[in-house]
Amino acid sequence: MKIDNIEKEIDEMGDAHVFTSTDNPLRSDAFELTNAEKVALINEDVKRILETLGMDLTDDSIKGTPQRVAKMFVNEIFAGLDPKLKPKASTFENKYKYGEMLVEKNITIYSTCEHHLLPIVGRAHVAYISKGKVIGLSKMNRIVDYFARRPQVQERMTMQIVQELQQALGTPDVACVIDAKHLCVNSRGIKDIESSTVTSEFGGAFKEAAVRREFLDYIKLDTSF
Ligand SMILES: Nc1nc2c(ncn2[C@@H]2O[C@H](COP(=O)(O)OP(=O)(O)OP(=O)(O)O)[C@@H](O)[C@H]2O)c(=O)[nH]1
Ligand SMILES: [Zn+2]
């Protein structure tokens, strides 16, 4: 593909995120290679990038970088692309009949912006109202982390977390708010270190103003965003 065309595609993609579905754009052959094969290939790709930039890959400090980056992509920051690694969302019967809202707040999020491959760092706040099932608290943190370990846009990640919990808990009454800093905005481009991005998804009862207000009061965010 000519460089002009690639640049045009990237420009168009900049606005295209609003049209993507809640699934990450993965090809159907995404898991035909083993993780070891992916690491070996990415190692070569990163080597090529550094070589193109003129780096001396015989230097002691950076000779291990391509392999390090490859392992980090496959086994750490993009490991959540693999459905096999989806956390088991163990649920229990709500025998004690707790009928109020449960909020798991200030869940740390480390994700990666799919447009620049730079970090997204922030907090997720998740809430649900039980319809008979309750979920282990840590499972909410694990579900957030699973969807964060992908090349992401914040809107999609917020919706994926809600959909996963709705399924696990068998209720639409689930909500998620994420407040995160995008290093692609903070450290390059517009370089606005102060700004952060808030996204929300309010399912079922959380669409009602009073229920939503209660959730936002727990996490101390106002509705003016
Ligand atoms: N909606 C949304 N946009 C994002 C997210 N992460 C990054 N972006 C934006 O994606 C856009 C990509 O736009 P482009 O114009 O193709 O990229 P760019 O030329 O590097 O843009 P600048 O960052 O403005 O320099 C940027 O405005 C980013 O801020 C996200 O999670 N959600
Ligand atoms: Zn970005």
Which residue's C-alpha comes closest to atom 26 of ligand 1? 14
Residue 154 near ligand 1, beta carbon < 6 Å: yes
Tell me which residues are annotated as active site.
113-116, 154, 182, 184
Q: Which atom of ligand 1 is nearest to the CA of 114?
A: 6
Q: What is the pLDDT along the chain (225 residues), one digit of tens a residue?
A: 445 555 555 555 555 444 347 999 999 999 999 999 999 999 999 999 999 999 999 999 999 999 999 999 999 999 999 999 999 988 999 989 999 999 999 999 999 999 999 999 999 999 999 999 999 999 999 999 999 999 999 999 999 999 999 999 999 999 999 999 999 999 999 999 999 999 999 999 999 999 999 999 999 975 443
Whether 213 lines ligand 1, by a CB cut-off of 6 Å, is no
Substitution candidate for ligand 1 out of 19, 117, 184 with most atoms within 8 A of CB? 184
Neighbours of 129 (CB within 10 A): 21
Here the tokens at position 108 are 């740390």
121 C-alpha to center of ligand 2: Å? 12
- CA gap 183, 185 in Å, rounded: 5
Convert 151-165 to b/e letters by CB count within 10 Å (16 or more is b).
bbbbbbbbbbbbbbb
8 A C-beta contact, residue 100 and residue 129: yes
Query: In the structure encoding, which two tokens stand for residue 42, read together?
Result: 């990415």
Ligand nearest to the CA of 116: 2
Model-level pTM? 0.89
153 lines ligand 1 (CB under 6 A): yes
Consecutive H or E run containing 199: strand 197-202
Q: How far is CA 12 from the centre of its chain?
A: 22
Name the maximum alpha-carbon separation found in the chain.
64
Phi-psi region of 204 (alpha: psi -120 to 50; beta: other; left: phi over 0): left
* Closest protein CA for atom 17 of ligand 1: 14
User: Does the CB atom of residue 185 touch ligand 1 within 6 A?
Assistant: yes
Domains of the chain, earliest start first: 3-85 (1.10.286.10), 91-219 (3.30.1130.10)
Q: What are phi and psi of 39, to 5 degrees?
A: -60, -45
| Whether residue 161 has its Cβ less than 6 Å from ligand 1 | no
